Amino acid sequence: MNTLSHTLPSVDAVRIALAERSYDILIGGGLLDRACSWTGLPRAATALIVSNTTVAPLYLARVKAQLQLHYKQVLQLELDDGEAYKDWASLNRIADTLLAAAADRKTVLFALGGGVVGDMTGFAAAIYMRGVPFVQIPTTLLSQVDSSVGGKTAINHPLGKNMLGAFYQPERVIADLDTLDTLPARELSAGLAEVIKYGPIADASFLDWLEANLPALLARDKQALAYAVRRSCEIKAAVVGQDEREQGLRAILNFGHTFGHAIETGLGYGEWLHGEAVGCGMVLASDLSVRLGLMPGSFLTRMTRLIQAAGLPVKAPDLGTSRYLELMRMDKKSEAGEIRFVVIEALGRAGMRSASDELVNEVLQAHLA
């Protein structure tokens, strides 16, 4: 982590080291209006800002004003807001906008919003004219600590979450902490799920810190949020830097997601927020870690308490255990029909395990609402 010095408040820069695909995650206050956020990006005639109907009224004009200093033509597109719209139709709207404006293959896309906007804009950038540059401007806690970083882009399919996508890295991530001021409380909690994830999988002392600082985070204390975002990005950068395309290690970032994605797909996208499903999914994955004999029962108690205190659900919707198994067999980590779960092997260390359907059923039965 570097600190860029300015007369204005400092800007943290966490580097994602991926050879020629390396980039910085800029983290700080007021970044939307600061020149350092926007200089040094790829030169082009055209830029497209992709946002949604909730975020655009708040921040699009400011981003556009900055981009107009660098690009001759600045296009904008406001997608419908929500996980239910992370689909082919929205992706097509991005392509339609680019093609209608005759945007060339140097055009730079800017994703202004949360994970849905970021994932879809990244996927559009990956496939438009076989690849154009893009920049992530995450405005939710979840997207600042997780989805804007690491180059996973995708849309959902009715049969499975994030099933169509590409690994495609952004040119830069601009995480303006001030955008968290306007975040609804439910979204803040959803983002905390992905923050909490980093403790058990990679940094036991970060888990201690989160327990001690959860009230400050929920109260949106700027320093606490800045540390949580930076530490999360540092951990993610270290993992992605070693395993960009999830050949092994990177799967640990999916802790809680096997159960979580089943909840999202099973209920219908958007019913629960992604972070809510991941929070609840981590309770189930913690229980599985205990039932596999890897962790003591006190670990499940600890995780459940923290997740609940963060304002997240800890009881899973009753989709029926066989439906859960059916959905989880579709997970991208499954191999030859065998579900592979991320489990905790020791505090700060995660691994992969399969489990019998009987054991998974026991876990589900213990946590269904």
Ligand X SMILES: O=C(O)C(=O)C[C@@H](O)[C@H](O)[C@H](O)COP(=O)(O)O
Candidate list 34, 86, 231, 257; residue touching ligand X; CB under 6 A:
257
Q: Please say which residue, 29 or 260, places its beta carbon nearer to ligand X.
A: 260
Shortest distance, position 162 Cβ to ligand X, whole Å: 3
CA torsion through residues 326, 328, 334, 340, sign: negative
Is residue 111 within 8 A of residue 121, CB to CB? The reply is yes
Question: Which range, of 68-76, 127-135, 145-153, 353-361, touches ligand X by CB under 6 A?
Answer: 145-153
**Does 85 carry a binding-site annotation?**
yes
Q: Tell me if 254 contacts ligand X by CB under 6 A.
A: yes
Candidate list 332, 349, 351, 368; residue touching ligand X; CB under 6 A:
332
Q: Tell me if 340 contacts ligand X by CB under 6 A.
A: no
> Is 261 a known active-site residue?
yes
Q: Tell me if 147 contacts ligand X by CB under 6 A.
A: yes
CA distance linking residue 113 with residue 88, whole number of Å: 18
Q: Which of 93, 172, 230, 274 is catalytic?
A: 274
Q: How far apart are the first and last CA of the chain?
A: 42
Size of the site for ligand X (CB under 6 A): 13
Candidate list 76, 90, 121, 162; residue touching ligand X; CB under 6 A:
162
Residue 347 Ramachandran class (φ > 0 left, ψ -120 to 50 alpha, else beta): beta
| Amino acid identity at 255 | F
- E strands, the chain, in order: 2-4, 11-16, 23-28, 46-52, 73-79, 108-113, 134-138, 152-157, 160-167, 172-176, 340-346, 349-354
Q: Please say which residue, 46 or 147, places its beta carbon nearer to ligand X.
A: 147
Is residue 301 within 8 A of residue 314, CB to CB? The reply is no
Dump the DSSP string for 176-197.
Answer: EGGGGGG--HHHHHHHHHHHHH
Q: Tell me if 253 contacts ligand X by CB under 6 A.
A: yes
Candidate list 86, 172, 250, 340; residue touching ligand X; CB under 6 A:
250
φ, ψ dihedrals at 56, nearest 5°: -55, -45
Q: Please say which residue, 59 or 255, places its beta carbon nearer to ligand X.
A: 255
> Is 250 a known active-site residue?
yes
**Does 84 carry a binding-site annotation?**
yes
Residues paired with 128 in a beta bridge: none
Closest listed residue to residue 340, CA positions, set 302, 292, 301 = 292
- Binding-site ranges for ligand X (CB under 6 A): 146-147, 150, 152, 161-162, 194, 246, 250, 253-254, 257, 332
Binding residue numbers for NAD(+): 81-86, 115-119, 139-140, 152, 161, 179-182
Catalytic residues: 130, 152, 194, 236, 246, 250, 254, 257, 261, 274
Binding residue numbers: 81-86, 115-119, 139-140, 152, 161, 179-182, 194, 257, 274
